[in-house]
Amino acid sequence: MNASEALARVPKADLHVHQEATRYLDLVLAEREGREPYDWAAWRRELAAAVPPGKERLQRIGSMQPVPLDHDADEELFVARFAALMRDHAAAGAHYVEIRCGGEIVTRDGFMTLFRRAEAQVRTEFPLLHAEALAIVIQAGQDPARADGFADDCVRAAAEGLAGIDFLYAPYDTEADWTHMYRLAERFADAGLGITAHAGELSTANIAAAARMPGLTRIGHGVHAATDPDLMRLLVDRGVTLECALTCNDFFGVLPELDEHPLLRLVEAGVAVTLATDNPVQLGTTIEREYAFAASLGLSIDQLTGVTRNAVRAAFTSPERKAAILAGLDA
Ligand SMILES: [Zn+2]
């Protein structure tokens, strides 16, 4: 077996993918209408030429909406776009994917029923795939009343199967005020929701605050911790798993002080890492490409298999589903 065959056989998992709502609607509609989908490679080329790497380029994520979001009103299209994302992952070797949704998507009437319908559709073709949904709580500190209302909805959705919460906030590259987010996190943890937060993508800011958040077990990105031994020790001590998105970090140029991505350095320091596509349509990546990227940085096949096990261990899914996913990995 050559290296690429060995890599293809590694079961994969993605704990950090955004729903990319209009991006996936465009893909689904393009196929139905027999037209080409929006040209994301051209979008990336233009963005890279026009906007310098770092914060400014990162802020352009989500700025292009190729089709109106109104299409989401059509239940069948809504299911189809989630199924398309899940199918892309399953076809790339994923056994598990967690999809995070911003806005009011998860509080839509019957959201989890529609999400499970998409999952069931994909499982007829890829029976090993499992999927869960996360809600993104945005700017909780800046609009606490609105955040509290959304939190009520998320706690209700937890009873219907919503798996977890992701926190996004500003400032992102300097220390934010976590007071209100901690308060919400306690409620989410009591409701049995898994908790993650974006941090450490542009700088080391917010990594320590995130790691100490009540109920938090994962951090989205967190890669700047590799520049600070104390932060890496904090992540290890608190058992925090990082969701690393290599193509995303590379394209947005968020690690200018390093000539190579520090994934291997994190692994060698004992930090639990997983791999993620983040925004696969916009970035032109798949979870298989992320594993190949990690292999190119020096991770062995055994380490990559370990990365998937880290993901299952850190997954925001039920013990029954975890056992089923683990059985699938062993098969
Ligand atoms: Zn993200």
- The CATH number given to whatever domain includes residue 301 is 3.20.20.140
Q: How far is the CA of 244 from the centre of ligand 1 (A)?
A: 10
* pLDDT, tens digit (0-9, with 9 covering 90-100), for 297-319: 999 999 999 999 999 999 999 99
Average confidence score pLDDT of the chain: 96
In the chain, the number of structural domains is 1
For the cut 90, the answer to whether the pLDDT of residue 2 exceeds it is no
For the cut 90, the answer to whether the pLDDT of residue 278 exceeds it is yes
Q: How far is the CA of 164 from the centre of ligand 1 (A)?
A: 14
For the cut 80, the answer to whether the pLDDT of residue 129 exceeds it is yes
Q: How far is the CA of 33 from the centre of ligand 1 (A)?
A: 30
Q: How far is the CA of 156 from the centre of ligand 1 (A)?
A: 24
Confidence band (pLDDT; 50, 70, 90) for 256? confident
Average pLDDT of span 46-63: 96
Is 175 catalytic? The answer is: no
Q: How far is the CA of 166 from the centre of ligand 1 (A)?
A: 9
For the cut 80, the answer to whether the pLDDT of residue 217 exceeds it is yes
pLDDT at residue number 188: 98
pLDDT at residue number 195: 98
Q: How far is the CA of 16 from the centre of ligand 1 (A)?
A: 6
Confidence band (pLDDT; 50, 70, 90) for 131? very high
pLDDT at residue number 331: 76
pLDDT at residue number 143: 87
Which is catalytic among the residues 20, 119, 201, 290? 201
| Interacting residues of 310 by C-beta distance below 8 A, sequence separation 6+ | 241, 272, 273, 274
pLDDT at residue number 322: 96
Which domain covers residue 191, as residue numbers? 3-330
Q: How far is the CA of 136 from the centre of ligand 1 (A)?
A: 10
Confidence band (pLDDT; 50, 70, 90) for 104? confident
